[in-house]
Structure 1
Amino acid sequence: MAKAPKDTLQLACIQIAVALLLLTQAKSTTEDTSALRPNDTVTSCIAGARSALLAFRAGLSDPANLLPSWKGGDCCRWKGVYCSNRTGHVVRLDLRGPGYRSGNESRQVLAGNISSSLLGLQHLQYLDLSYNGFDKIQIPEFIGSLHQLRYLDLSWSPFIGRIPPQLGNLSNLQYLNLGYNLYGTYSMDITWLSQLTSVEHLDMTGVNLSTIVHWLPVMNMLPTLKFLCLRACQLSDSPDSLQFSNLTSLETLDISGNDFQKRCTPNWFWDLTSLKHLEIAQNGFYGPFPDDIGNMTSIVELGLSENNLVGMIPSNMKNLCNLEILSSFANNINGSITELFHRLPRCSWNKLQVLFLPRSNLNGSLPTTTVQSLSNLHRLDLSDNELSGHVPLWIGELTMLTSLVLNANKFDGIIHEGHLSGLDMLDKLTLSDNSIAITVSPTWVPTFSLSSIELRSCQLGPKFPTWLRWQTRVYSLDISNTSINDMVPDWFWITASSVAYLNIQNNQITGVLPSTMEFMRGQAMDFSSNQFGGPIPKLPISLTYLDLSENNVLGPLPLDFGAPGLRTLILYDNMISGAIPSSLCKLQSLQLLDLSRNNLNGSITDCLVNDSSTNMTGLSIINLSLRDNNLSGDFPSLLQKCQDSSFLISDKISSLGLYQHGWGRSYHLCHS
């Protein structure tokens, strides 16, 4: 072989050296995003980055002291701050809040202003400020100058105002979530989105895009898009088709909650046959279920709920061999449940996880045997239909089932241990408003642990259902109108201690309310139309609703009700006696109070006289009934601050107070 000329070898060496130099430079401009934990060994962060973070921290409100670690020289050890393990540059700032906020949790967030000092973090690739409390401020324009950003999450914070088009400068962005800022963000021009040519995940849920007509061509300029969510964006136009689709990588599309008001077919999204997740609920689509569904052979999750689709699902759904979730709530299928089961794709029978078909006008009986085992079904909801017959025994073979919801149908017959013993994973059982008798052995111990039990109007009695004893994590329990004629067992109050929503009304349950009731977690409790006796104990501190009407409760009203947030107190048709105590004045959230048909006597308490510490301006009573008691005296000061109220009281109470306060024309007394 002939030797290569010397000049040629030198040129080759130079080219290799240049290539290596360029590769090194390319690596140096892309920071290593491997996260460093605070205890990892690393060179201290860049001084300029530390100063930028401290300036950013100074503009924040942090009432819960979520950032106590933000001190000292090495910012790479601070909470939520991650540095490159090679250069020390801050490449990731993750200050995501704790998630959905309610009550005291709303204080466990960051708020205040977002300082432009973040521009000092020019190597930042990841910024997450979601689930915080940046109320009533706009998304800062300067974020569009953080050119290295690949990941930006500003959801659930909640920002207001215009989405800054400067975000279009983030050409490296792969993930963008601006959704769920519920105070109101909007955009009147989304052409800036077309510049995000690397974006794969785009979520703009709830952003007002009502003025945008040609939104689809903009999205079609994003060839790398895999996830697109435009839920509840007030869009009104859904084109029939795209002349040329760039959305060949799109796997998830959610355009639910808009206002398209057109036939379900033709529509541009039916051409995206590579979609795995399609959610088009609540869009005003109408007409028959389209045959185009059968072309979506990659589909895993199909959401069609709350449109105006009519007729049976198409027979070519047999092609959907990857289907795991089918949701078609509140469409008018108007056909046989057996026929629907036969049209589900047999090739995905063992993959199906969710079958959600309430309010679909389905009729007939469930098939006595399934075509194949629904071995992976997690959620079955066929509620609010016209289904009849017995609940088949194969329900008990759905060993992965966590939610069984069959309420508001016409099922009859018996459910026994064979239906339930195999459901180890069951978390929610809803069978209300059927003619079902649940007949199990009194010694049966369920293998499941339920958080929600809804059995209204089923046949459980006459004995108290002992299997409830083993349900110790129930949050919602409804066994009203279930033909129980028995004394409430002591163990039941232990089971009920964790229940927030408890309804046992319209039975013949005897016994007394427990003295430990104040330690229960109840928020709403209905014991009405039973045979409970004894006095009213101190109530749970979180209680807002209590109905004890039509029982045999006796004795005086409590001197301490507890439950400072109580809004509704219904005690009519009992044997409560004595005077109305001043403790009633402390229930400043109370809006409805019914003490009628009891044995109360004396005058109504006068809060101004009997409890000088009570803030009378805080009373909120709107509806009050005191009739059929033995009350007497003048119209009380207790009620003279309730300017928006209507009263139903005894004819022994003087109405003079009403007219003295100018209520003679606005309100009337219903005399007993």
Structure 2
Amino acid sequence: MDMLQLSCSQIAIALLLFTQVKSTTEETFAQYPNGTLTKCITGERSALLAFREGLSDRANLLSSWKGDDCCRWKGVYCSKRTGHVVSLDLQGTHRGSGNGIAQVLAGNISSSLLGLQHMRYLDLSRNRFDKIEVPEFMGSFHKLRYLDLSFSWFIGRIPPQLGNLSNLRYLNLEASYQGPGYFLPYSTDINWLSRLTSLEHLDMTGINLSTIAHWLPVVNMLPTLKVLRLSACQLRSSPDSLPLSNLTSLETLDLMGNDFHKRSTPNWFWDLTSLKHLDISFTGLYGPFPDEIGNITSIVELELSRNNLVGMIPSNMKNLCNLEKLGYYRNNINGSITELFHRLPSCSVNKLQLLNLPDCNLTGSLPTTLVEPLSNLTWLDLSDNKLTGHVPFWIGELTKLRTLYLNSNSMDGVMHEGHFSGLDMLKDLVLSDNSITITASSTWVPPFSLALIHLGSCQLGPKFPTWLRWQTQVFSLDISNTSITDMVPDWFWIAASSVQFLNIRNNQITGVLPLTMEFMSGEEVDFSSNKLTGPIPKLPMNLTRLDLSRNNVVGPLPSDFGAPGLRTLLLYNNTISGAIPASLCKLRSLELLDLSRNNLNGSITDCLVNELSTNMTGLSIVNLSLRNNNLSGGFPSLLQKCPQLIFLDLEDNHFLGTLPAWIGEKLSSLSFLRLRSNMFYGHIPVELMKLVNLQFLDLAYNNISGSIPRSIVNCTGMTQTRHISYDAFTSQFRFDENELVDYTENFMVLTKGQERLYTGEIIYMVNLDLSCNSLTGGIPTEISALVELKNLNLSWNNFNGKIPENIGSLLQVESLDLSQNYLSGEIPSSLSALTSLSHLNLSYNNLSGKIPTGNQLQTLEDLASIYIGNPGLCGPPLLSKCSSQPEPIPGNHADASNDAVSFYLGMGYGYVMGLWVVFCTFLFKRKWRVSWYSLYDQAYAQVAVTWASFRGKTNG
């Protein structure tokens, strides 16, 4: 419910003013019937036509503006006595008509309107006069009593010439943010308002008044003011009091969305005892719930939401005998819900229409009975609290209730037909995230027709609740995680055909997707984590999001997906087979595509690229996961047409060949690249390091050779902190206030020696994994510049040389694995500076010297295994002590014997090393295990023979 919409009382004020203007003796006006004696003035007709010339009227709102008598034109009203135009009502609408064209006027407002000097009423609201300022000449209509320019996309300064309209009673300049590149209108001086001494209604919502500190004294000079709306005006001050208040007639005060950031009391508005409507939500007020509220006995609507008020509502609220609406969303009552109900004014309990108390830290159970029935209550929202116990039976007695939100509490018990028996007018039923069991007989026909049904995590199963079949006007349906283990009945697909937001995820629902699915109205559909089978049918035309993951869907992908506006397609964890069809390229709006863990095969051929040849903009894909399939061929050329790609996961397929240089040029937005467990070979292209946003690179378990490019330091995603925020409205992550990423699937990362599960937090993971390849050369010192790394794995390669001395610069690293290489020299002492380190593996290298100690190195688990396979290392935690004796003289006989031992140990170690490389590959390539199993036997036999031979020689 939008508390900012015009209330009935406000509409009444506007109509009253309109009527007052119409009833003026000289200027009573109407659009003339046939036979009238007086027609419109010729000069005024010419002024209107000149005004129309400056407008863009795509919706033909002014199509009636023809002929001699302008008093017959749409929106034009004339005085019955004089024929002068006294009213111009050209209000538009942004909602659009059936043909998709918004019913608005645009363009420029011509000064020819000055020819209408007898005008009393002017309404140009809800049009689209973007990129122009409110004309200064508006201040020249001295007889004007009603002026509405709201929601018409004006920019720039509000002209102070409006202060010349001394007869004005109604002024509405409300603006609203219209998206990027739009700047709200502003005013740096509102002293001109003080001259509007007849003003009764003032609305400047959204106008930037941030530079005006002393706004209240100006407003206080308007003694007849009844309605004052200064919502979201970026005001920063709210005085404690007014020495002499002239606002004794004020009935409506809306200051929502300003940042006063002060204690809730004292404040000047608590002294306005004639107020009926007060909205001070989102104003940064803090402190206790103010007792002064009990003095405003005339109050009808009280909105205090989204502040930092604490404590139970005061007992003197019982004085508010006219209270109809109470909004207290997201404050901290931190008390019993029963006590709160006791403190509601009993004298107005039969008037109360809206009780909006979500996220207020309310505790306890709802009272089992009410002293006085809430007979007029239409809106009850107690969601996101800490309520326990059962839903009381009196809920079913709220016969005028339209909206019931009890979701996100800890309520339990059973709700049955009796709880709903009197709710004939109910439209929104939201009970999600409780432990409530809902039972009803299979023959029960509900008394209501719901538009919103959210019952996620309640107990509905095991059978499909048959009462849903009677809900044929549902807009949003959520029965996810409700223990349904039934087959989808045919009636459900019929009932759900008009649902736009449909969620049945995380049940054990069986059945086949209907062939009629394309005729459904669904925009966002979530069938994930069920047991649905069969092929994917053609999708609904309006569909933007489909989640069919974790089901038993089979067959090939459809040759015609339908759904041209599809943005999210999640099909992972099914048994979909066949090739990826060219029809995928027709989904030009697709941003998130996850086909992982299926049986897709074949190569992603160039025919898909040809499909895009006529569209230079390519695909819109941001997140693409094809991992754990049987796809083959080279690195997909299709990706050249995906310039917005940020996530790319091709893990565990049969892709082969070299990595193309164009990755660094065509995929400039790429941040996450995982090509793990494929058959890529060749060098890491230097061009790959042009991906400045790259923060996750996993090339493990391939046959990549060559060295690590020193230009890896250019990947600032690994060297600098990225600012990542979450957009709750779109459920997307935003990188550096620029790129949006929607990532929903679980993401496994090999780190700290084991696979770890990441979900949305994967965006914070900075990872470099090049393990199990054939990389050579030294570890470049530039690697130490990647200071944001959390996981660095270079194991099972052929790196030699020393560990970079400044490795200790990687202060964020949690897991460091350099094992199974040919690294030599001492372990850098800077390693002890890695205070975030929780996993370290330097085993099976040629490292020597004393093991560094201190800080995090002493807390690691299984310390000895970290350094095993490095015969030259000494000191704790190894048993071998570091000797200060000089090196043995070359040629010594004992050394010759030691050389022989080292030779055979080296030979055996080499075999083991090679064997483990194969094992490392087999671990992730099960298809290679069988075909290479005999090689394992031969290697094992060779190691055994060598070891036996060595032992024979040493014993001899």
Q: Which interval holds the TM-score relative to the shorter structure?
A: over 0.9
Match of 1:138 among 130, 133, 137: 133
Max radius of gyration: which structure? 2
Measured in 1, the distance between the counterparts of 2:403 and 2:33 equals: 42
- 1:661 corresponds to which residue? 663
Measured in 2, the distance between the counterparts of 1:192 and 1:165 equals: 6
Unaligned runs of 5+ in 1: 1-25
Measured in 2, the distance between the counterparts of 1:443 and 1:467 equals: 8
DSSP-derived class of the 1:554 partner: strand
Measured in 1, the distance between the counterparts of 2:437 and 2:32 equals: 57
- 1:530 corresponds to which residue? 530
Unaligned runs of 5+ in 2: 1-20, 665-686, 702-923, 925-956
- 1:153 corresponds to which residue? 148
Shift of 1:374: 0.3
The answer on whether the counterparts of 2:58 and 2:101 sit within 8 Å (CA) in structure 1 is no
The answer on whether the counterparts of 2:97 and 2:103 sit within 8 Å (CA) in structure 1 is no
Measured in 2, the distance between the counterparts of 1:572 and 1:38 equals: 68
Shift of 1:89: 1.1
- The alpha-carbon distance between structure 1 residues 629 and 37, as it changes in their structure 2 partners (threshold 3 A), is farther
DSSP-derived class of the 1:664 partner: helix
Shift of 1:65: 1.4
Q: Which stretch of the first structure deviates more once superposed, 642-651 or 156-165?
A: 642-651
Q: C-alpha deviations, 1:450-490, integer Å up to 9, x for none?
A: 11111110001111111111111111111100011111111
- 2:627 corresponds to which residue? 627
Match of 2:83 among 76, 85, 88: 88
- The alpha-carbon distance between structure 1 residues 172 and 430, as it changes in their structure 2 partners (threshold 3 A), is same
Query: What TM-score comes out, normalization by structure 2 length?
Result: 0.66
Q: C-alpha deviations, 1:522-554, integer Å up to 9, x for none?
A: 111110001111111111122111110011111
- 1:18 corresponds to which residue? none
Measured in 2, the distance between the counterparts of 1:372 and 1:655 equals: 78
- 2:454 corresponds to which residue? 454
DSSP-derived class of the 1:161 partner: coil
Q: C-alpha deviations, 1:391-425, integer Å up to 9, x for none?
A: 00000000000000000001100111111121011
Shift of 1:502: 0.9
Q: C-alpha deviations, 1:373-398, integer Å up to 9, x for none?
A: 10000000000000100000000000
Measured in 2, the distance between the counterparts of 1:239 and 1:417 equals: 53
The letter of the residue matching 1:652 is: H
Measured in 2, the distance between the counterparts of 1:302 and 1:559 equals: 56
Q: Which stretch of the first structure deviates more once superposed, 361-370 or 94-103?
A: 94-103
Measured in 2, the distance between the counterparts of 1:235 and 1:133 equals: 26
Measured in 2, the distance between the counterparts of 1:119 and 1:598 equals: 70
The answer on whether the counterparts of 2:95 and 2:102 sit within 8 Å (CA) in structure 1 is no
Shift of 1:28: 12
The answer on whether the counterparts of 2:79 and 2:86 sit within 8 Å (CA) in structure 1 is yes
Percent identity over the alignment is 74
Measured in 2, the distance between the counterparts of 1:35 and 1:224 equals: 28
Measured in 1, the distance between the counterparts of 2:560 and 2:229 equals: 52
1:40-55 equivalence runs, <5 A: 41=36, 43-55=38-50
The answer on whether the counterparts of 2:134 and 2:154 sit within 8 Å (CA) in structure 1 is yes
Q: C-alpha deviations, 1:291-334, integer Å up to 9, x for none?
A: 10110100000011111100000000000000000000011000
- 1:652 corresponds to which residue? 654
The answer on whether the counterparts of 1:100 and 1:131 sit within 8 Å (CA) in structure 2 is no
1:237-316 equivalence runs, <5 A: 237-316=237-316
The answer on whether the counterparts of 1:449 and 1:473 sit within 8 Å (CA) in structure 2 is yes
- 2:429 corresponds to which residue? 429
- 2:114 corresponds to which residue? 119
The answer on whether the counterparts of 1:33 and 1:92 sit within 8 Å (CA) in structure 2 is no
1:153-552 equivalence runs, <5 A: 153-182=148-177, 183=182, 184-552=184-552
DSSP-derived class of the 2:617 partner: helix
Q: Which stretch of the first structure deviates more once superposed, 351-360 or 635-644?
A: 635-644
DSSP-derived class of the 1:234 partner: coil
- 2:566 corresponds to which residue? 566
- The alpha-carbon distance between structure 1 residues 317 and 658, as it changes in their structure 2 partners (threshold 3 A), is farther
DSSP-derived class of the 1:92 partner: strand
Shift of 1:250: 0.4
DSSP-derived class of the 2:412 partner: strand
Measured in 1, the distance between the counterparts of 2:196 and 2:618 equals: 54
Shift of 1:33: 3.7
Measured in 2, the distance between the counterparts of 1:297 and 1:422 equals: 32
Measured in 1, the distance between the counterparts of 2:348 and 2:608 equals: 70
The answer on whether the counterparts of 1:31 and 1:123 sit within 8 Å (CA) in structure 2 is no
The letter of the residue matching 2:197 is: T
The answer on whether the counterparts of 1:476 and 1:502 sit within 8 Å (CA) in structure 2 is yes
- The alpha-carbon distance between structure 1 residues 317 and 560, as it changes in their structure 2 partners (threshold 3 A), is same
- The alpha-carbon distance between structure 1 residues 102 and 585, as it changes in their structure 2 partners (threshold 3 A), is farther
- The alpha-carbon distance between structure 1 residues 657 and 621, as it changes in their structure 2 partners (threshold 3 A), is farther
Measured in 1, the distance between the counterparts of 2:36 and 2:470 equals: 51
- 1:5 corresponds to which residue? none
Shift of 1:618: 2.6
Measured in 1, the distance between the counterparts of 2:549 and 2:253 equals: 51
The answer on whether the counterparts of 2:540 and 2:562 sit within 8 Å (CA) in structure 1 is yes
Measured in 2, the distance between the counterparts of 1:430 and 1:27 equals: 47
The answer on whether the counterparts of 2:585 and 2:608 sit within 8 Å (CA) in structure 1 is no
- The alpha-carbon distance between structure 1 residues 40 and 614, as it changes in their structure 2 partners (threshold 3 A), is farther
Q: Which stretch of the first structure deviates more once superposed, 605-614 or 433-442?
A: 605-614
Shift of 1:611: 2.3
- The alpha-carbon distance between structure 1 residues 609 and 228, as it changes in their structure 2 partners (threshold 3 A), is closer
Query: What TM-score comes out, normalization by structure 1 length?
Result: 0.93
Measured in 2, the distance between the counterparts of 1:379 and 1:129 equals: 34
- The alpha-carbon distance between structure 1 residues 630 and 614, as it changes in their structure 2 partners (threshold 3 A), is farther
Measured in 2, the distance between the counterparts of 1:214 and 1:101 equals: 41
- The alpha-carbon distance between structure 1 residues 640 and 40, as it changes in their structure 2 partners (threshold 3 A), is farther
Measured in 1, the distance between the counterparts of 2:444 and 2:34 equals: 52
Q: C-alpha deviations, 1:249-302, integer Å up to 9, x for none?
A: 100000111011111111100000010001000111111011101101000000
The answer on whether the counterparts of 2:313 and 2:343 sit within 8 Å (CA) in structure 1 is yes
The letter of the residue matching 1:293 is: I
- 2:705 corresponds to which residue? none
Q: C-alpha deviations, 1:155-194, integer Å up to 9, x for none?
A: 1111000000000011111110001243410000000000
The answer on whether the counterparts of 1:199 and 1:225 sit within 8 Å (CA) in structure 2 is yes
Measured in 2, the distance between the counterparts of 1:37 and 1:378 equals: 43
What CA RMSD, in Å, does the superposition of the two structures yield over aligned residues?
1.9
The answer on whether the counterparts of 1:585 and 1:614 sit within 8 Å (CA) in structure 2 is no
Measured in 2, the distance between the counterparts of 1:373 and 1:40 equals: 58
